[in-house]
C-alpha cells in the first residue's frame, strides 16, 4: 500500500505520520484489491486516538499503565486514553424497575452455565510451526475419518494415538464448564450434541483435537433474583458505552480533522 496515494491525516493542526496509519491498517479488514478501504478505516481509528490523546494532554492528565494480563501492561497512550474516559464519562446505574423490565423482556436469555462431559484425542503441535501443524492435521484427519465411520473406536484410538495425558482414560476430560479450557476448544463445545464427535479436527494452541461430547447439562433458566446482578452489570456497561460515544462525538464535533471522517466509527 503506497501511503502517498492517500491524503495526510491532520487532527487539530497535528499531522499524523503516514507510517502510523499504515501500521494501523493491519487491524482492519478490506476486500482484496481495495486497500483504500483499509486505509480509511485505519485513518478513522488513528484520528480518534489522536483526538483523545490531545484532550488528555490538554488536561495534563497523568495515568499509570495498568496491568492487562500476566506480565502485560498498557502502553502510555492506552493509559492516557483510559484515564481521560474515566475522568470524563459517567453512566447512571439502572433502576430496579429497568433491570426487572430487561429480565421480563426474555427471561430465557438468563441461564446458569452449562456443563459438558467431554473426551478428546489430541494431535499435538505448535500451530506456529507450519510443518508440525500440517503433520498433526494429516494425522487428525485420518483419525477423524475413521471415527466418522466407526465412532465406537474412539476410546481405543484415544489410548493408542492421543498426545494428551487423558489417553490413559480413553481421552476423557471429565466435566467442563465455561472458562475451564482454552477459548478455541470451548467455542466448539457449544455446537456439539450429546454423543456427537466433531466432524473436523479442531485447532487450538495445543494442536488438533477430535472432540466427543459425552453428555450435556444445559444451563437452567435463572429467576430474577439470581439474574439481577449480571443484568445490572450488562446495563451499566451499555450505558457507559453510550456515554463514551457521546463524549467522543462532542470532541469530534469541535475538532478540525482532514484525511479522516469519524462518522463511520462512531
Is residue 170's pLDDT more than 90?
yes
Per-residue confidence at 263, pLDDT binned at 50, 70, 90? low
Shared domain for 240 and 151, answered yes or no, is no
Shared domain for 211 and 260, answered yes or no, is no
Shared domain for 132 and 201, answered yes or no, is yes
For all residues of the chain together, what is the average pLDDT? Answer: 92
Shared domain for 85 and 161, answered yes or no, is no
> Is residue 10 a part of any domain in this protein?
yes
Shared domain for 43 and 20, answered yes or no, is yes
The DSSP secondary structure of 215-263, one letter per residue, reads EEEPPPBPPHHHHHHHHHHHHHHHHHHHHHHHHHHHHHHT--EES---G
Q: What is the mean pLDDT of residues 119-135?
A: 96
Task: List the CATH number of the domain containing 164.
Answer: 3.10.50.40
Shared domain for 120 and 211, answered yes or no, is yes
Give me the pLDDT at residue 5, please.
Answer: 73
Tell me which residue range forms the domain holding 261: 3-91+231-265
Q: What are 219's three cell numbers?
A: 444451563
Radius of gyration of the chain (CA): 25
Shared domain for 148 and 239, answered yes or no, is no
> Is residue 87 a part of any domain in this protein?
yes
> Is residue 97 a part of any domain in this protein?
no
Give me the pLDDT at residue 266, please.
Answer: 37
Shared domain for 137 and 86, answered yes or no, is no
> Is residue 98 a part of any domain in this protein?
no
Q: What is the mean pLDDT of residues 118-135?
A: 96
Shared domain for 46 and 121, answered yes or no, is no
Give me the pLDDT at residue 264, please.
Answer: 45
Give me the pLDDT at residue 73, please.
Answer: 92
Tell me the C-alpha distance between 99 and 22, whole Å: 44
Is residue 19's pLDDT more than 80?
yes
The SS3 assignment for 135 reads helix
Is residue 265's pLDDT more than 50?
no
- 61's CB contacts (< 8 A; 6+ apart) are 80, 83, 84, 87
> Is residue 105 a part of any domain in this protein?
no
Q: What is the mean pLDDT of residues 108-122?
A: 94
CB atoms near residue 142 (< 10 Å): 13
> Is residue 33 a part of any domain in this protein?
yes
Q: What are 58's three cell numbers?
A: 490538554
Task: For 63-95, write each residue's pLDDT tens digit.
Answer: 999 998 888 899 999 999 999 999 999 988 999
The total number of structural domains that make up the chain:
2
Is residue 118's pLDDT more than 70?
yes
From residue 41, give the alpha-carbon distance in Å to each of 2, 99, 186. Answer: 16, 36, 31
Shared domain for 206 and 123, answered yes or no, is yes
Task: For 198-209, write each residue's pLDDT tens digit.
Answer: 999 999 999 999
Shared domain for 25 and 47, answered yes or no, is yes
> Is residue 198 a part of any domain in this protein?
yes
Amino acid at each position: 500500500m503506497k501511503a502517498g496515494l492517500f491524503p495526510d491525516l491532520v487532527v487539530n493542526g497535528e499531522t499524523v505520520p503516514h507510517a502510523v496509519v499504515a501500521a494501523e491498517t493491519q487491524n482492519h479488514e478490506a476486500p482484496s484489491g481495495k486497500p483504500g478501504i483499509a486505509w480509511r478505516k485505519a485513518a478513522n481509528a488513528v484520528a480518534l486516538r489522536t483526538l483523545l490523546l490531545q484532550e488528555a494532554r490538554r488536561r495534563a492528565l497523568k495515568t499509570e499503565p495498568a496491568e492487562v494480563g500476566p506480565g502485560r501492561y498498557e502502553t502510555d497512550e492506552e493509559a492516557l486514553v483510559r484515564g481521560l474516559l474515566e475522568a470524563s464519562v459517567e453512566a447512571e446505574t439502572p433502576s430496579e424497575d429497568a433491570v426487572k423490565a430487561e429480565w421480563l423482556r426474555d427471561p430465557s436469555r438468563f441461564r446458569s452455565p452449562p456443563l459438558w462431559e467431554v473426551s478428546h484425542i489430541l494431535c499435538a503441535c505448535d500451530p506456529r510451526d507450519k510443518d508440525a501443524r500440517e503433520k498433526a492435521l494429516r494425522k487428525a484427519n485420518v483419525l477423524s475419518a475413521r471415527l466418522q465411520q466407526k465412532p465406537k473406536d474412539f476410546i481405543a484410538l484415544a489410548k493408542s494415538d492421543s498426545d494428551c495425558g487423558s489417553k490413559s482414560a480413553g481421552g476423557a476430560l471429565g466435566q467442563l464448564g465455561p472458562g475451564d479450557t482454552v477459548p478455541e476448544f470451548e467455542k466448539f463445545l457449544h455446537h456439539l450434541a450429546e454423543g456427537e464427535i466433531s466432524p473436523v479436527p479442531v485447532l487450538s494452541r495445543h494442536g488438533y483435537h477430535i472432540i466427543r461430547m459425552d453428555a450435556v447439562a444445559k444451563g437452567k433458566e435463572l429467576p430474577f433474583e439470581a439474574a439481577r446482578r449480571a443484568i445490572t452489570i450488562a446495563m451499566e456497561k451499555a450505558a457507559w458505552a453510550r456515554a463514551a460515544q457521546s463524549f467522543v462525538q462532542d470532541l469530534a464535533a469541535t475538532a478540525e480533522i482532514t484525511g479522516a471522517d469519524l462518522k463511520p466509527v462512531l
